Copies of this chain bind each other. A is one copy, B any other.
Amino acid sequence: MTFMENDPQKIATYTYELEPAEGNAQQETPLTLLVKRILETATYHAESWGVGYSSLIKGNQAWVLARLAVEMISYPRVYDKYVIETWIEGYNKHFSARNFCFRSPEGKIYGYARSIWSVIDIQSRASVDITTFRHIANNVSDKDCPIAPQSKIRPVNDENPAVYVVQYGDIDINRHVNSVKYIEHMLDKFPLDLYDKNFVRRFEINYVSEARYGNCLHFYREQLAEKIYAVEIRNESGDAICRGRIEFAERDREKI
């Protein structure tokens, strides 16, 4: 359930509750659901000042998510209410930086996220100059987002990549694989037991190119350090589709 603020404002606030049917095996908000909420609240906020999907599509333009970093202290549990605050940190011709804070209604911080977006012309795939958007200069907030910026994730080595053929349920309204589905498939490359003992403390993804229905995706996985992994998805031609970095942290033992 969501309660939306109606007035356009620099920091938009949306409240959700984790329903039982949405919880994961650890009875927490799945990271994939959190990213869905990130996309959703970004859309709501952009709509509120006239640059959302519904406005841009009329000019054959669309927002494209380029990079995302999510860093969590803990995740909302079943029946926990959680508040998402989102604001624009800055922008230039090619990119807009939008941040997120996840907290309880009482102010307990769950975590933060940073996202980098571009706007493209859907036909030509050319980048659209974001600085020409009306109101954008008035919508930048200096609210603090105390997590490290997105990093550039390097190509990943793996001699035995897992293979997955893109299915009907992976495809979004643009006929590409849904941004969240890449994350779901990446996270599925790790065993349940790892999630029971650890939580995803930081997750990053760089979107490089698009996968389509029927593409045969290869998942390259490499351990970078203790509890830190990189996963690269490539298509059948070896082109990078996206690269993720997953950092696990041990759960408090007393909490289990």
By a beta-carbon cutoff of 8 Å, the part of chain A in contact with chain B is: 1-2, 4, 19-25, 27, 30, 32, 36, 39-40, 43-44, 53-54, 78-79, 167-169, 171-173, 175, 178-180, 184, 187-188, 190-192, 195, 213-214
Contacts and interface: CB of A to CB of B under 8 A. Distances in A.
Contacts of A44: 1
27 contacts: A1-B2, A1-B4, A1-B44, A2-B2, A19-B43, A20-B43, A20-B53, A20-B173, A21-B178, A21-B179, A22-B36, A24-B168, A24-B171, A24-B172, A24-B173, A25-B168, A25-B213, A53-B78, A54-B79, A78-B173, A168-B188, A168-B190, A168-B191, A168-B192, A169-B184, A169-B187, A169-B188
A229 to B, nearest CB: 14
A32 B169 contact: yes
B25 A173 contact: yes
B2 A21 contact: no
Contacts of A178: 21
Given A19-B40, A25-B172, 6 more contacts: A20-B173, A21-B180, A53-B78, A167-B188, A168-B187, A168-B188
